[in-house]
Structure 1
Amino acid sequence: MKIRAAKLEDTQAICDLLKQMGYPQPLTLIQEKFEILHNDANSQVLVAEEKGTICGFLSLYFIPQIALQGDFAKICYLCVDEHVRSKGVGHLLVQEAERLARQRGCDRMELHSGMQRPLAHQFYLREGYIEAPKYFRKVLN
């Protein structure tokens, strides 16, 4: 299993993985968003590849903190192909994300995982994450 930075050619596979997560979007949108993230120094998109096939991806964003010494990194998306879940792919992606975060001076990781994803919650708890129950959102029209 190889964990590497995503390339534009990987966007179809990323699009397919997002569909498995319930985010069916046109490939053109995923390509546009990938270009934005790819050109942002605070963003990193990783893929897990085995024998030339993308079987997972993780989108990571580094966020500077004005009032604290260390910054933090946010896992924005993590998806592993449903056919290879529970085989360590997610663990490898998270390990690499944490390594990159430490390298960038981050002292913590954060993520949001919807209530409809209890298996993901179990995964993150096994990875050493703790639940932080307050999360606020406002839809902007």
Structure 2
Amino acid sequence: MVGSERRDQLSRLVQEAQTAGDSYQDLADRAIDPVTGATVSKPYLHKLARGQVATAPGPVQLRAIAAALRRPAALVKRAAAEQFLGWVSDEVQGYDDDMRVIVTYAEAMPPAERRRLRATVEAWERARAEER
């Protein structure tokens, strides 16, 4: 990912949810911070999707946006850091967008689920190798 693609990461996450079928109202209805109960409004989400938000959302807003998008908070925080600060986390730098999402989801899993994911990936790789 290069240039402008990095500058709109959080906006793209909101756009993707909307394009996938969630209305801005659907997103706003889910945009509730699980810690404080604070919400993010439909107009704010619309502005965010259009790249019209000039300042980075704070931690409470980011958690609410993560809830709206049904994405791990770490993914949303990284997207905001890239978009508003130009910062890319070292642990995901160099990955394409698909790998970054996979790594972020795996990172948020409890250890037992992560082991099941690993076993699934390893079984898939064995099956693929047998097909060759």
| Shared fold per TM-score greater than 0.5 | no
Higher strand proportion: 1
TM-score, normalising length from structure 2? 0.32
**Larger Rg over CA atoms:** 2
| Greater RCO structure (CA 8 Å; 6+ sep) | 2
